[in-house]
């Protein structure tokens, strides 16, 4: 039966809910084989998240395109399916046509030009043949592709003609040796597109949400897709009142659930509580990226170590040290990256980066470490690269190959602005790495800001009001009070759910007007000489970017008091107070500061007292003092369930700060916010705190002696 023909006897669907079940024996909504149970607290959590989703994402430009994509991809799927059936019935070779039209491809110019079916949840980035012929666990043989195409067409045709045959068809497809590697995320898009009323779209994002709601791991195997699809139907029926109460009216209940899954995982950054976040560079300059993307993995080198999956840490150390004896130029740090890499687990999140300025992709680990049987860069983990949009970042500490990052950094880079390139088209609404479009930053509520900075809600609300009133503010306080951390988190709240940017610049004593505003810079010429061009500084560059948007944008000026501010700011001193005015810069160029650019500075009062700051500058900024937050120290160690009890440390710090007697030079708590604080504490105190006290009490050494580790260590550790 053709898709365009009438399917008599099929159950009617309203808002994604089957109006009767008896006519569809393969799809009972209350299947006993499904371990479905959504607790009351999960219901409440879902309702809260869904309300946030419904009132934000579908109203954004990206959300509107996403809504429209459901109809677009299904229309394209129907046309592609008809073309494949015509080729089959006409006796033509339909191998390439079936692979291109029945599998979900990334909406890229390459895939559009070759007529592939582009989908908003792509599983294929370029050509599926290359992926399967090079994948380490599959190694598909080129001569088998006609058989693969035949099996694919038979699966789709049998299910479209009779959805009740889904379980039998999926089992038969999975049993074929040539179809190994075709999983639910690759095949459910076409089944859903052709039968959206009874077959669910299942991918890594929806499986993650289902696992959260039900507490059960959700399989990606195609043989298990019938069970997973029924699970989606059951879950959406259970959550029907929530799903039907809000969200895009033109979408079915199943589609609203799918769109929510995309938002909560890819936009908001929802994930398992124990998930870890990693940034990994796929080779120097990103030269491995194409292989990693097409192969669905991320890899590191040091292949000489061999397979480390069965090693204990001590066994790994022995193997590492033996190799270093043979290769003295190799470093322990470099080799140890392989051990850390091998600890990456399923469900962890990966950022693939190219240097410190570019994100290549974001993905979820689908299976842990394995050692590839041949090739190079054989230490690998499998990754579902669900977002391959290249994005612009500024992470100067990201020069190493592998590093664990926190969730805040992950969400920041995952929502960074896309890199603009020549190219375009929006045929199916998917993400095209070469097509720029506004990207909304993840939600970051005032409550999140208060929780992460260990401040009261009223206090962080006061920060927001101050920035709104003055347009510029400064966090000031002694060392270790989290000034830069608070500035970054406040900036994140200010740009939440917008396409605004956050950029950081650090001042230093030699920083000048030419660096910040504009100045003459020498440039080499083709003739071997020098030309002297007028070059924009960091501030003018930020102003130009902000002026192209109406969303709030934030420039963080770290260590703002370390530079000669009157010299650095120049005409900006006037414009900070009179934002609507336009004045000429030193070069004569007329300039007006955009109203949506906000400035947040940080000032370490141990370097230079606030009293020494020019009064004209002080009245242009709101100042927020950050004293040592001992409650934050307590909460940190409680939340991270460390073995360190901070009561003794807090008592010592309170006594120490009374001895110092000046709040501008007090010792803060961020020095001690480490999960392994017990092991690190002696080094932290002797290498960071004592040198600071030696400098402050240079003329009173006996006071320092009272706070040497030998005197206070036992009290700090509770001994």
Task: Quick: pLDDT tens for 627-650.
Answer: 999 999 999 898 888 889 999 999
Select from 3.10.180.10, 3.90.190.10, 3.40.50.300, 3.90.226.10 the CATH code of 446-625.
3.40.50.300
**Nearest residue to 344 (alpha-carbon basis) of 366, 362, 360, 361:** 366
**Can you point out the beta strands (E) in 457-511?**
472-477, 502-506
Residues 6+ positions from 333 with CB-CB distance below 8 Å? none
What pLDDT is attached to residue 365? 83
For residue 211, pLDDT beyond 90: no
Q: How confident is the model at residue 34 (pLDDT cuts 50, 70, 90)?
A: very low
**Any idea which residue has 């999926």 for tokens?**
170
d(Cα 465, Cα 592) in Å, to the nearest integer? 23
Structure tokens at 266: 């890819």
Residue 595 is predicted with a pLDDT of 87
pLDDT of 139 reads: 46
Please tell me the predicted confidence (pLDDT) of residue 37.
Answer: 65
pLDDT confidence of residue 420: 52
Homologous superfamily of the 277-414 domain (CATH)? ph1033 like domains (3.10.590.10)
Q: Give DSSP secondary structure letters for 290-335.
A: HHHHHHTEEEE--GGG---TT--HHHHHHHHHHHHHH-TTS-HHHH
Most confidently modeled range among 1-10, 19-28, 30-39, 267-276? 267-276
Burial class (CB in 10 A: 0-12, 13-18, 19+), 564: middle
Instruction: Report DSSP state, residue 588.
Output: S
Q: Residue 452 in contact with residue 640, Cβ under 8 Å?
A: no
Q: What is the pLDDT of residues 342-394, one digit of tens each?
A: 999 877 889 999 877 789 999 888 777 888 887 889 999 988 787 888 888 87
Do the domains at 277-414 and 446-625 have one common CATH topology? no
Average pLDDT value for the chain: 83
Handedness of CA 84, 87, 90, 95 (dihedral sign): negative
Q: What is the pTM of this model?
A: 0.44
pLDDT tens figures, 491-527? 999 998 788 899 999 998 888 988 899 888 776 666 6
Which residue ranges make up each domain of the chain? 53-267, 277-414, 446-625, 630-717
Least confident of 49-53, 98-102, 608-612: 608-612
């Amino acid at each position: 039966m053709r898709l365009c023909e009438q399917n008599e006897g099929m159950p009617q669907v309203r808002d994604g809910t089957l109006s009767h079940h008896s006519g569809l024996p393969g799809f009972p909504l209350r299947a006993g084989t499904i371990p479905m149970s959504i607790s009351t607290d999960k219901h409440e959590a879902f309702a809260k998240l869904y309300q946030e989703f419904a009132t934000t994402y579908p109203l954004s430009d990206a959300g509107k395109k996403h809504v429209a994509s459901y109809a677009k991809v299904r229309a394209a799927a129907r046309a592609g399916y008809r073309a494949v059936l015509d080729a089959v019935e006409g006796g033509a070779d339909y191998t390439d046509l079936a692979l291109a039209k029945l599998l979900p491809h990334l909406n890229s110019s390459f895939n559009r030009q070759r007529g592939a079916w582009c989908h908003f949840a792509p599983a294929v980035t370029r050509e599926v043949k290359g992926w399967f012929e090079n994948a380490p666990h599959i190694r598909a043989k080129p001569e088998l592709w006609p058989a693969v195409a035949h099996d694919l067409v038979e699966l789709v045709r049998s299910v479209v003609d009779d959805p009740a045959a889904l379980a039998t068809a999926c089992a038969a497809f999975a049993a074929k040796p040539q179809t190994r590697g075709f999983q639910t995320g690759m095949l459910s898009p076409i089944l859903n597109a052709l039968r959206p009323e009874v077959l669910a779209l299942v991918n890594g994002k929806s499986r993650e949400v289902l696992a959260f709601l039900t507490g059960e791991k959700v399989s990606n195997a195609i043989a298990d897709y019938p069970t997973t699809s029924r699970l989606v139907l059951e879950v959406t029926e259970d959550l029907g009142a929530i799903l039907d109460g809000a969200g895009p009216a033109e979408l079915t209940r199943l589609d609203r659930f799918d769109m929510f899954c995309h938002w909560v995982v890819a936009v908001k950054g929802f994930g398992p509580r124990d998930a870890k976040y990693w940034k990994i560079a796929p080779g120097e300059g990103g030269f491995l990226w194409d292989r990693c993307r097409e192969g669905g993995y991320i890899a590191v080198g040091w292949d000489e170590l061999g397979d480390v999956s069965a090693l204990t840490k001590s066994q790994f150390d022995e193997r590492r040290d033996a190799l270093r004896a043979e290769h003295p130029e190799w470093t322990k740090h470099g080799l140890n990256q392989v051990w850390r890499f091998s600890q990456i687990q399923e469900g962890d999140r990966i950022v693939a980066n190219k240097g410190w300025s570019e994100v290549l992709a974001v993905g979820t680990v689908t299976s842990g470490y394995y050692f590839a049987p041949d090739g190079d860069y054989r230490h690998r983990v499998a990754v579902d690269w669900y977002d391959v949009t290249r994005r612009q970042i500024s992470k100067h500490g990201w020069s190493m190959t592998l590093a664990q990052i926190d969730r805040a950094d992950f969400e920041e880079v995952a929502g960074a602005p896309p890199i603009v390139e020549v190219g375009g088209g929006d045929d199916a609404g998917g993400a095209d790495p070469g097509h720029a479009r506004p990207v909304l930053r993840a939600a970051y509520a005032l409550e999140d800001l208060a929780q992460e900075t260990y401040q009261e809600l009223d206090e962080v609300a006061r920060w927001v009001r101050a920035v709104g009133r003055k347009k510029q503010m400064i966090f000031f306080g002694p060392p270790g009070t989290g000034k830069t951390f608070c500035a970054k988190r406040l900036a994140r709240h200010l740009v939440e759910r917008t396409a605004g940017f956050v950029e950081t610049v650090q001042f230093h004593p030699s920083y000048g007007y030419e660096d910040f505003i504009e100045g003459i810079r020498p440039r080499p010429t083709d003739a071997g000489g020098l030309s002297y061009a007028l070059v924009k500084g960091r501030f003018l560059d930020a102003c130009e970017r902000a002026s192209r948007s109406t969303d709030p944008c934030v420039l963080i000026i770290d260590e703002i008091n370390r530079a000669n501010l009157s010299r650095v700011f120049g005409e900006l001193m006037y414009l900070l107070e009179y934002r609507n005015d336009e004045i000429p810069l030193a070069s004569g160029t007329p300039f007006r500061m955009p109203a949506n650019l906000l400035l947040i500075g940080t000032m370490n009062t141990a370097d230079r007292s606030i009293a020494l700051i020019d009064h004209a500058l002080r009245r242009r900024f709101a100042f927020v003092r950050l004293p040592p937050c001992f409650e934050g120290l307590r909460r940190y160690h409680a939340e991270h369930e460390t073995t360190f009890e901070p009561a003794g440390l807090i008592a010592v710090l309170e006594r120490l700060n009374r001895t110092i007697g000046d709040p501008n030079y007090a010792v803060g708590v961020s020095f001690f916010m480490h999960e392994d604080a017990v092991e690190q504490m002696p080094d932290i105190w002797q290498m960071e705190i004592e040198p600071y006290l030696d400098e402050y009490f240079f003329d009173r050494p006996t006071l320092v002696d009272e706070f040497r580790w030998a005197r206070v260590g036992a009290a700090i550790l509770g001994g």
